[in-house]
Amino acid sequence: MFNLIPKEVRFYDYFEQQSRNLVRAGALLRELVYDFPDARAKAHAIKEVEHQGDQITHEIVKRLNTTFITPIDREDIHDLATRLDDVLDYIEAAAERLVVYRIKEPTSACRAMADVIVQIIAATDRCIHCLRAMDPGFHEHAVEVNRLENSADTLLRESLAALFDEGGDPIDVIKWKEIYETLETVTDRCEDVANVIEGIILKMA
Protein backbone atom coordinates (compact mmCIF):
# COMPACT_ATOMS: atom_id res chain seq x y z
CA MET A 1 0.00 0.00 0.00
CA PHE A 2 2.77 2.41 0.93
CA ASN A 3 4.29 2.02 -2.55
CA LEU A 4 1.14 3.61 -4.03
CA ILE A 5 1.61 6.80 -2.00
CA PRO A 6 3.87 9.38 -3.69
CA LYS A 7 7.10 10.04 -1.84
CA GLU A 8 8.17 13.59 -1.04
CA VAL A 9 11.21 14.11 -3.29
CA ARG A 10 11.66 17.78 -2.43
CA PHE A 11 14.31 16.76 0.07
CA TYR A 12 16.69 16.19 -2.85
CA ASP A 13 16.00 19.75 -4.00
CA TYR A 14 16.85 21.04 -0.54
CA PHE A 15 20.11 19.07 -0.41
CA GLU A 16 21.17 20.32 -3.84
CA GLN A 17 20.23 23.87 -2.89
CA GLN A 18 22.26 23.58 0.29
CA SER A 19 25.17 22.25 -1.73
CA ARG A 20 25.07 25.41 -3.85
CA ASN A 21 25.37 27.38 -0.62
CA LEU A 22 28.47 25.36 0.26
CA VAL A 23 30.01 26.10 -3.13
CA ARG A 24 29.23 29.82 -2.77
CA ALA A 25 30.56 30.04 0.79
CA GLY A 26 33.76 28.17 -0.14
CA ALA A 27 34.37 30.50 -3.09
CA LEU A 28 33.83 33.54 -0.88
CA LEU A 29 36.26 32.17 1.72
CA ARG A 30 38.90 31.69 -0.97
CA GLU A 31 38.29 35.21 -2.27
CA LEU A 32 38.60 36.52 1.27
CA VAL A 33 42.05 35.04 1.89
CA TYR A 34 43.38 36.04 -1.55
CA ASP A 35 41.92 39.57 -1.51
CA PHE A 36 42.14 40.41 2.16
CA PRO A 37 41.61 44.21 2.23
CA ASP A 38 37.90 43.54 1.65
CA ALA A 39 37.78 40.79 4.29
CA ARG A 40 35.01 42.23 6.45
CA ALA A 41 32.58 42.54 3.52
CA LYS A 42 33.34 39.01 2.34
CA ALA A 43 32.95 37.63 5.87
CA HIS A 44 29.56 39.34 6.01
CA ALA A 45 28.61 37.78 2.67
CA ILE A 46 29.59 34.35 4.03
CA LYS A 47 27.43 35.02 7.10
CA GLU A 48 24.50 35.74 4.78
CA VAL A 49 25.03 32.44 2.93
CA GLU A 50 25.25 30.63 6.28
CA HIS A 51 21.96 32.24 7.30
CA GLN A 52 20.33 31.05 4.07
CA GLY A 53 21.68 27.58 4.87
CA ASP A 54 20.08 27.69 8.32
CA GLN A 55 16.73 28.46 6.70
CA ILE A 56 17.06 25.42 4.43
CA THR A 57 17.96 23.22 7.41
CA HIS A 58 14.88 24.46 9.31
CA GLU A 59 12.71 23.82 6.26
CA ILE A 60 14.04 20.26 5.95
CA VAL A 61 13.27 19.54 9.61
CA LYS A 62 9.81 21.09 9.32
CA ARG A 63 8.98 19.10 6.19
CA LEU A 64 10.37 15.96 7.80
CA ASN A 65 7.83 16.36 10.60
CA THR A 66 4.91 16.73 8.19
CA THR A 67 5.80 14.17 5.51
CA PHE A 68 4.27 10.72 5.63
CA ILE A 69 6.49 8.91 3.12
CA THR A 70 10.10 10.05 2.68
CA PRO A 71 12.36 8.96 -0.21
CA ILE A 72 15.07 7.82 2.24
CA ASP A 73 15.06 7.08 5.96
CA ARG A 74 14.11 10.00 8.18
CA GLU A 75 17.21 9.71 10.34
CA ASP A 76 19.39 9.83 7.21
CA ILE A 77 17.64 12.98 5.99
CA HIS A 78 18.12 14.63 9.36
CA ASP A 79 21.74 13.48 9.60
CA LEU A 80 22.63 14.75 6.13
CA ALA A 81 20.92 18.09 6.74
CA THR A 82 22.90 18.49 9.96
CA ARG A 83 26.23 17.57 8.34
CA LEU A 84 25.69 20.03 5.49
CA ASP A 85 24.83 22.74 7.99
CA ASP A 86 28.05 21.96 9.89
CA VAL A 87 30.15 22.64 6.78
CA LEU A 88 28.62 26.10 6.41
CA ASP A 89 29.01 26.81 10.12
CA TYR A 90 32.75 26.10 10.05
CA ILE A 91 33.33 28.13 6.88
CA GLU A 92 31.59 31.04 8.57
CA ALA A 93 33.60 30.46 11.77
CA ALA A 94 36.90 30.52 9.86
CA ALA A 95 35.98 33.76 8.07
CA GLU A 96 34.87 35.34 11.33
CA ARG A 97 38.13 34.45 13.09
CA LEU A 98 40.21 35.99 10.29
CA VAL A 99 38.38 39.28 10.84
CA VAL A 100 37.86 39.27 14.61
CA TYR A 101 41.47 38.30 15.34
CA ARG A 102 42.64 41.33 13.34
CA ILE A 103 44.79 39.23 11.04
CA LYS A 104 47.02 41.53 8.99
CA GLU A 105 47.49 39.18 6.05
CA PRO A 106 46.62 35.51 5.47
CA THR A 107 49.58 33.12 5.34
CA SER A 108 50.42 30.93 2.36
CA ALA A 109 49.26 27.94 4.44
CA CYS A 110 45.89 29.62 5.02
CA ARG A 111 45.49 30.20 1.29
CA ALA A 112 46.51 26.62 0.51
CA MET A 113 43.89 25.37 2.97
CA ALA A 114 41.23 27.57 1.30
CA ASP A 115 42.20 26.06 -2.06
CA VAL A 116 41.69 22.55 -0.66
CA ILE A 117 38.33 23.61 0.80
CA VAL A 118 37.10 24.79 -2.62
CA GLN A 119 38.19 21.47 -4.15
CA ILE A 120 36.65 19.27 -1.47
CA ILE A 121 33.37 21.20 -1.61
CA ALA A 122 33.27 20.63 -5.39
CA ALA A 123 33.75 16.88 -4.82
CA THR A 124 31.12 16.94 -2.05
CA ASP A 125 28.72 18.70 -4.41
CA ARG A 126 29.20 15.89 -6.93
CA CYS A 127 28.43 13.35 -4.18
CA ILE A 128 25.19 15.16 -3.33
CA HIS A 129 24.10 15.17 -6.96
CA CYS A 130 24.47 11.37 -7.03
CA LEU A 131 21.89 11.00 -4.27
CA ARG A 132 18.69 11.61 -6.24
CA ALA A 133 19.38 8.76 -8.69
CA MET A 134 21.43 6.69 -6.22
CA ASP A 135 24.22 6.89 -8.80
CA PRO A 136 26.90 4.21 -8.19
CA GLY A 137 29.40 6.67 -9.70
CA PHE A 138 29.24 8.29 -6.27
CA HIS A 139 32.17 6.13 -5.17
CA GLU A 140 34.82 7.96 -7.20
CA HIS A 141 33.66 11.32 -5.82
CA ALA A 142 33.75 9.95 -2.26
CA VAL A 143 37.32 8.73 -2.82
CA GLU A 144 38.25 12.24 -3.95
CA VAL A 145 36.65 13.75 -0.84
CA ASN A 146 38.68 11.36 1.31
CA ARG A 147 41.89 12.17 -0.57
CA LEU A 148 41.38 15.91 -0.12
CA GLU A 149 40.56 15.52 3.56
CA ASN A 150 43.83 13.62 4.01
CA SER A 151 45.61 16.40 2.12
CA ALA A 152 44.11 18.95 4.52
CA ASP A 153 45.25 16.84 7.50
CA THR A 154 48.81 16.87 6.16
CA LEU A 155 48.64 20.58 5.48
CA LEU A 156 47.43 21.23 9.02
CA ARG A 157 50.28 19.22 10.56
CA GLU A 158 52.87 20.99 8.41
CA SER A 159 51.35 24.41 9.09
CA LEU A 160 51.31 23.89 12.85
CA ALA A 161 54.90 22.58 12.84
CA ALA A 162 56.05 25.64 10.87
CA LEU A 163 54.10 27.91 13.20
CA PHE A 164 55.83 26.56 16.29
CA ASP A 165 59.25 26.39 14.60
CA GLU A 166 59.10 30.06 13.66
CA GLY A 167 58.68 31.00 17.32
CA GLY A 168 56.69 34.15 16.64
CA ASP A 169 54.53 36.16 18.98
CA PRO A 170 52.64 33.66 21.23
CA ILE A 171 49.32 35.45 20.68
CA ASP A 172 49.75 35.18 16.90
CA VAL A 173 50.61 31.51 17.27
CA ILE A 174 47.40 30.92 19.24
CA LYS A 175 45.34 32.82 16.67
CA TRP A 176 46.76 30.97 13.68
CA LYS A 177 46.55 27.59 15.38
CA GLU A 178 42.82 28.08 15.88
CA ILE A 179 42.30 29.40 12.34
CA TYR A 180 44.19 26.48 10.76
CA GLU A 181 42.25 23.96 12.85
CA THR A 182 38.92 25.57 11.96
CA LEU A 183 39.78 25.50 8.25
CA GLU A 184 40.76 21.84 8.47
CA THR A 185 37.51 21.05 10.28
CA VAL A 186 35.62 22.24 7.19
CA THR A 187 37.19 19.34 5.28
CA ASP A 188 36.33 16.90 8.10
CA ARG A 189 32.68 17.92 7.89
CA CYS A 190 32.71 17.49 4.08
CA GLU A 191 33.96 13.95 4.62
CA ASP A 192 31.10 13.43 7.10
CA VAL A 193 28.64 14.46 4.34
CA ALA A 194 30.18 11.96 1.91
CA ASN A 195 30.05 9.21 4.56
CA VAL A 196 26.35 9.82 5.23
CA ILE A 197 25.58 9.71 1.49
CA GLU A 198 27.61 6.51 1.13
CA GLY A 199 25.56 4.92 3.91
CA ILE A 200 22.31 5.97 2.23
CA ILE A 201 23.33 4.64 -1.19
CA LEU A 202 24.52 1.32 0.25
CA LYS A 203 21.27 0.99 2.21
CA MET A 204 19.13 1.72 -0.86
CA ALA A 205 21.11 -0.51 -3.25
As a whole number of angstroms, the distance between CA 126 and CA 128 comes to 5
In 9-34, which positions are buried (b, 16+ CB within 10 angstroms) versus exposed (e)? eebbebbebbbebbebbbbbbbbbbe
Query: How far apart are the C-alpha atoms of 113 and 197, rounded to whole Å?
Result: 24
| Helix/strand/coil percentages in the chain, nearest 5 | 85, 0, 15
Backbone angles phi, psi at 149, to 5 degrees: -65, -40
Q: Could you tell me the residue ranges of all domains in the chain? A: 2-204
pLDDT tens for 54-64 read 999 999 999 99
- pLDDT range class, residue 6, cuts 50, 70, 90: very low
CB burial of residue 4 (10 Å; 0-12, 13-18, 19+): exposed
Q: How confident is the model at residue 8 (pLDDT cuts 50, 70, 90)?
A: low
**What is the chain's mean pLDDT, rounded?**
93
Confidence of residue 1 (pLDDT cuts 50, 70, 90): very low
CATH number of 2-204: 1.20.58.220
